């Protein structure tokens, strides 16, 4: 039977509070937060009382905690984030935002999953050797961002009626992953052996 179209509700507010979002009510969070150490987002962080790199990530950590609270067990969080290059008191350096977001989300209770590396094409012909071909001053520029993926807790077990493929549960929608027939486990979801065992037991209880 065709499902009813979902309703859409737009809530405007601070992502650290999410007052209109009930705990444990969200299946998926997709977000692109203000990036620490990118001048475009300095004002957002100043508004949060954050001026230094650690303070910026402390504020973002409050967002990850709010996301963890909002997600259902097994719910997913996708964070688009890029690293930053900036000259501070110590001179020019990399600010590895993706590393700090990985750590902060793990500390907030998330289980880190393999990330997507988003290669952003650059139209700068000198992107790799930014100073030209003079080796002493050659530098590499940033040309990618990250879509970091996390799950709240273990895999969800879906009711049989929701599954197009009755062997799903250890298998990803693209067909990659473990199956009962092959008894193999691939990287990513398939490696979550306890969740796979729970999915098998769930199927057994359904008579599958």
Q: Residue 47 Cβ, how far from ligand SAM at the closest point, in Å? A: 7
Residue that has been written with the tokens 């990118």 in this structure: 38
The CA radius of gyration of the chain, in Å to the nearest whole number, is 21
Give me the half-sphere count of Cα atoms (radius 13 Å) on the Cβ side of residue 41. 19
First to last CA, the chain: 21
Of 26-34, 99-107, 148-156, 168-176, which part binds ligand SAM (CB under 6 A)? 26-34
Q: Based on the shown chain and the rule CB under 6 A, indicate whether residue 165 belongs to the binding site for ligand SAM.
A: no
Q: Shortest Cβ distance from residue 60 to ligand SAM (Å)?
A: 10
Quickly tell me which residue has 């807790």 as its tokens.
153
Least distance in angstroms from the C-beta of 45 to ligand SAM? 8
Among residues 41 and 115, whose Cβ is nearest to ligand SAM? 41
Smallest separation (angstroms) from ligand SAM to the CB of 67 = 11
Q: Which is nearer to ligand SAM, 25 or 201 (CB)?
A: 25
Q: How far is CA 13 from CA 10, 17, 18, 71, 79, in A?
A: 10, 8, 7, 17, 18
Tell me how far apart the alpha carbons of residues 44 and 146 are, in angstroms, rounded to a whole number. 21
* Mask for 27-66, x = binds ligand SAM (CB under 6 A): -----xxxx--------x----------------------
Q: Do the beta carbons of residue 60 and residue 68 sit within 8 Å?
A: no
Question: What is the binding site for ligand SAM (CB under 6 A)?
Answer: 14-15, 32-35, 44
């Amino acid at each position: 039977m065709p499902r009813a179209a979902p309703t859409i509700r737009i809530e405007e507010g601070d992502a650290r509070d999410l007052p209109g979002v009930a705990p444990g009510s969200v299946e998926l969070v997709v977000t692109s937060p203000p990036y620490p150490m990118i001048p475009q987002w300095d004002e957002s962080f100043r508004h949060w009382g954050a001026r230094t790199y650690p303070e910026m990530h402390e504020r973002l950590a409050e967002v990850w905690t709010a996301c963890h609270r909002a997600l259902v067990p097994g719910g997913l969080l996708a964070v688009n984030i890029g690293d930053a290059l900036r000259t501070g008191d110590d001179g020019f350096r990399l600010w590895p935002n993706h590393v700090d977001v990985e750590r902060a989300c793990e500390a907030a209770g998330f289980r880190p999953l393999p990330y997507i590396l988003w290669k952003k094409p650059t139209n700068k012909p000198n992107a790799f050797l930014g100073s030209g071909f003079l080796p002493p001053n050659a530098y590499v520029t940033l040309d990618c961002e990250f879509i970091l993926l996390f799950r709240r807790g273990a895999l969800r077990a879906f009711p049989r009626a929701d599954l197009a493929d009755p062997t799903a549960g250890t298998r990803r929608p693209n067909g990659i992953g473990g199956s009962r027939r092959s008894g193999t486990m691939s990287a990513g979801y398939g490696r979550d052996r306890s969740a796979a065992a729970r999915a098998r037991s769930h199927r057994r209880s359904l008579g599958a």
